[in-house]
Structure 1
Amino acid sequence: MTEMLRAPAEVKFAEELDWLESVDDGPKPFSWRLSPRMVRLFVLGSEKSDGLDRQVEQKWFGDRSFVERAIVTLASDRGLLLIGDPGTGKSWLAELLSAAISRNSTLVVQGTAGTTEDHIKYSWNVSMVIAKGQSRDSMIPSPIMTAMEQGVIGRFEELTRSTSDVQDALISILSEKYVSIPELDDDNTVFAKPGFSIIATANSRDKGVNDLSSALKRRFNFVRIPVVTNKSSEAEIVRFRTTELLRRHAIDLDVPPNLLDILLQSFADLRTAAASATSEDDKLESALSTAEQIGVLEDAILHSQFFGDRVLKAGTLANSLVGSLARRQPEDLAILNKYWHGVVEPRSKKDGGEWTEFMDGGRQAIATLS
């Protein structure tokens, strides 16, 4: 694990998954490694009422009903589509579910404008085809086909960014549960084993890029993941991810609770302003998601570690926030400047302390970028 820049969930939480599997006496659908109850425990963490001998940490922060509906969908062997705004944890939830159910979350297809049908079915090893002809040995299965052959979960990220012909190729896989290989005379069909399913994600802001056909929609159960707006839940997510960051980089640096409060309040204020904006030009290009908050805090921590005095300060946090959110110039800078004058400045006069340093750091960052 120390040799991986980012370990997949089944590697990172391998010991915990082994333990859950050893104490799991619940019914398991198909070839699942854990029962649905244990999958939920792995994702959402354990409670005293669960009667376990050890604590299982919470890894995804959101409504329990979303996770339960996702698990039930996969147990029914239907496709699962997680849809929501950027940064709502769709991919992380998909990874955790795959790790708990199959102990393999790496069978992933990334949807882009360049994704082809070969990426979800199969392609060929050209040199082997030239030398020995087309055969199953010279075929290169896609991650989805591999998931079918193994009876595990395959993942498709950013489904709506793929073209319609690629999306259409999924319809037969989800409905018929097999892939035909017309180039071969024998052994020319790959059938999905029990336990196979697909977890796809889609960005709700990509509506209109490549809309899903009604036929494909019918093959998926939709679970909409909302933006986290509850401050306590959002704070838990940010703390969880920040702890991971500090551990990964071996950084010994505290995140003062009052600075975390400033970060959360700033994003809440900017979301409120975006909700009341009358045009797109009056909104930041950023989705103002929890993931972006984590990115802002990560940037500030690393800057403090490598270029500061290894103490996280409000000015550094403000500089990171402005630098991360000012993507369009001059539109985003104008919005941030208005926020700093209309909200941060009055709050600094009222509360003082870190808010004053936060105000000064933000003003300096805005002036530098202007």
Structure 2
Amino acid sequence: MSEMLRAPAEVEYAAELDWLESVDDGPKPFSWRLSPKMVRLFVLGSDRADGLDRPVRPKWFGDRGIVERAVVTLASDRGLLLVGDPGTGKSWLAELLAAAISRTSTLVVQGTAGTTEDHVRYSWNVSMVIAHGQSRASMIPSPIMTAMREGVIGRFEELTRTTVDVQDALISILSEKYVAVPELDEDNIVFARPGFSIIATANSRDRGVHDLSSALQRRFNFVRIPTVTNRRSEAEIVRFRTTDLLRRHRIALEVPPTLLDVLLQSFADLRAAAAAATGDDERLESALSTAEQIGVLEDAVLHGSFFGAGTGALSAETLAGSLVGALARRSPEDLAILNKYWHGVVEPRSRDRGGDWTGFLEGGRRAIAALS
């Protein structure tokens, strides 16, 4: 694990998953490693009512009904499609579910404009085909085919960014639960084993890029992941994910609650301004997601640790600089929006409240001036 830049969930939480499996006496669908109740508990964490000997900390912060519907879908013969805005935790939830159910979350197809049907089905080892001809040995299975053969969960990220041909390749897999290999004369069908399913994700902002056909939509259960609006939940998410990221960098630092409040309030203000805007030139290009808050906070902590005044502590000035640097993607549009926010909101708040808002005001001013 120390040699991995980012360990997958089944490795990161291997000890916890082993323990949950050892105390799990619930019914398990197919070849699942954990029962549905234990899958939910692994994702959302435990409480006293669960009666466990040790606590299980939450890893995804969201509505319990969303996780339950996702788990029930995966126990059926339909695929699961997680839909939501960027940064709402779709991929992280998919990884956690696959890790809990199958103990493998790395059978992933990343959807892009360059994804082909071979990425969903199979391809061939050309040198082996030349030397020995086409056979099962010379076939290179896709992550989805591997998941079929092993009876585990396969994942498909950003499904709506792929072309129609790629999407159509999933229809027969989800319907018939097999892949035909017409190049082979014998042993030319790969059947899915019990336990196989697909978790796909789709960015709601990509609507219209490559819309799903009605045939493919019928083979998925849609579960919508809402944007986190609860201040307390968002603070928990940011704190949890940032702690994990900093542990990876071997930086031991507690984020001051007052600075976390400044960050959360700033994003809330900017979201409100975006909602009230009448045109795209009045909105930041950023989705202002929770994931972007995590990125801003991580950047600020690392900057303070590497280039700070020697204490390694996070400062309001550094936080402001990281926020401006992360959100100012278009020039001059985004810079004008941020400058308006700093003058119209941050400056009066600095006069009224002082404290970290004063440093946040100065740091933001300097960052905006440097980019202008």
- Range class of TM-score, shorter chain: over 0.9
User: How much does 1:124 deviate?
Assistant: 0.2
User: How much does 1:246 deviate?
Assistant: 2.1
- 2: distance between equivalents of 1:198 and 1:346? 50
Task: For 1:143-292, list aligned pairs within 5 A.
Answer: 143-292=143-292
User: How much does 1:157 deviate?
Assistant: 0.2
Aligned position for 1:119: 119
**Alpha-carbon contact 1:111-1:162 (below 8 Å) kept:** yes
1:357 matches 2:355: no
User: How much does 1:194 deviate?
Assistant: 0.5
- 2: distance between equivalents of 1:358 and 1:338? 15
**Alpha-carbon contact 1:82-1:201 (below 8 Å) kept:** yes
Q: In the alignment, residue 368 of structure 2 is paired with which amino acid?
A: I
Task: For 1:1-370, list aligned pairs within 5 A.
Answer: 1-308=1-308, 309=310, 310-370=312-372
- RMSD over equivalenced CA pairs, Å: 0.5
- 2: distance between equivalents of 1:251 and 1:38? 32
Runs of 4+ in 1 over 6 A off after TM superposition: none
- 2: distance between equivalents of 1:170 and 1:11? 28
User: How much does 1:196 deviate?
Assistant: 0.3
**Alpha-carbon contact 1:263-1:293 (below 8 Å) kept:** yes
User: How much does 1:242 deviate?
Assistant: 1.4
- 2: distance between equivalents of 1:348 and 1:118? 56
User: How much does 1:248 deviate?
Assistant: 1.2
- 1: distance between equivalents of 2:278 and 2:366? 28
Q: In the alignment, residue 270 of structure 1 is paired with which amino acid?
A: L
Query: Residue by residue, what CA displacement relative to the aligned partner does 1:340-368 show, whole Å, maximum 9, x if unpaired?
Result: 01100110000011101100100110000
**Normalising by structure 1, what TM-score?**
0.99
**Normalising by structure 2, what TM-score?**
0.99
Q: In the alignment, residue 304 of structure 1 is paired with which amino acid?
A: G
User: How much does 1:247 deviate?
Assistant: 1.3
- 2: distance between equivalents of 1:330 and 1:170? 43
SS of equivalent residue, structure 2 residue 365: helix
- 1: distance between equivalents of 2:166 and 2:254? 47
SS of equivalent residue, structure 1 residue 34: coil
Query: Residue by residue, what CA displacement relative to the aligned partner does 1:17-66 show, whole Å, maximum 9, x if unpaired?
Result: 00000000000000000000000000000010000000001000001110
SS of equivalent residue, structure 2 residue 210: coil
Query: Residue by residue, what CA displacement relative to the aligned partner does 1:273-320 show, whole Å, maximum 9, x if unpaired?
Result: 000000111100000000000000000000000011311100000000
Number of corresponding residues:
370
- Which structure 2 residue ranges, 5 or more long, are not aligned? none
**Alpha-carbon contact 1:77-1:195 (below 8 Å) kept:** no
User: How much does 1:215 deviate?
Assistant: 0.5
